[in-house]
Amino acid sequence: MRAMRGVLIFPLLILFALTARAQQPSQAPLAGLFNEQQGPVVNYRGYAFADCAASAPAVRVVALQGVVPEGIPRTPPRPSIEILINAPLDKAVGQQFTVESKAGAGGAVVSSCPVVGACSPAGNGTVAVVSKADDGTIVGEFRAKWAIGAPRAGRFTVAWRQSENTCG
């Protein structure tokens, strides 16, 4: 008789546990997973160097998640966010720039560069160069929206690297 009660009670306990679990609210996905879909603020490292945009001095920031390569690579490391600020570094520090889809005076172009395929420019957003340290390290942030996916936001701390680029 006791064995019979145990056989009847055990399935009822399992049913009760499953019912209680089903009534709990679903949990939100963990932050940091699927960054492009969730759009959390990401801290990037990387490097910056002098570049040209429309024959005018500009600053190019290559913001990376992961290992930062030595020197200035001939091709951009990927995956990365590339930011082209249409101003020389001394005029960019302390300024905020509007994100444009193409290089233009006074704005910035923010591109998402995947592991495979071409870089894709954001349609709108902002870029701010917050500070430049004595050792050349640049600190800034961006918020940008691409045609596909959630808006992305990031903070970058990048080392300045000398380049051979000249404008003119």
Asked, for residue 62, whether it belongs to a domain, the answer is yes
- Residue 61 CA to its chain's centroid (Å): 12
3-state secondary structure of 86: coil
Report yes or no on 8 lying in a domain. no
As for how many domains the chain has, the answer is 1
- 72 vs 81, residue with greater confidence: 81
In a domain, 106, yes or no: yes
- Provide the residue range defining the domain that includes 116: 40-160
Would you say 52 and 26 are in contact if contact means Cβ atoms under 8 Å apart?
no
pLDDT of 19 strictly over 50: no
The CA distance from 149 to 19, in Å, is: 36
Average pLDDT, the chain: 78
pLDDT tens digits, 99-156: 988 776 679 999 998 878 888 999 999 999 999 999 999 999 999 999 888 888 999 9
In this predicted structure, what is the pLDDT of residue 56? 86
Whether pLDDT at 58 is above 80: yes
Residue 10 lies in a domain: no
pLDDT tens digit string along 26-51? 333 333 333 444 457 889 999 999 98
The answer to whether residues 83 and 99 touch, using CB atoms and an 8 Å cutoff, is no
Provide the percentage of residues in the chain whose pLDDT is more than 70.
74
Q: Name the nearest CA neighbour of 138 among 90, 81, 99.
A: 90
pLDDT higher than threshold 70 for residue 4: no
Per-residue pLDDT, 9: 54
User: pTM higher than 0.85 for the full model?
Assistant: no
pLDDT value at residue 13: 44
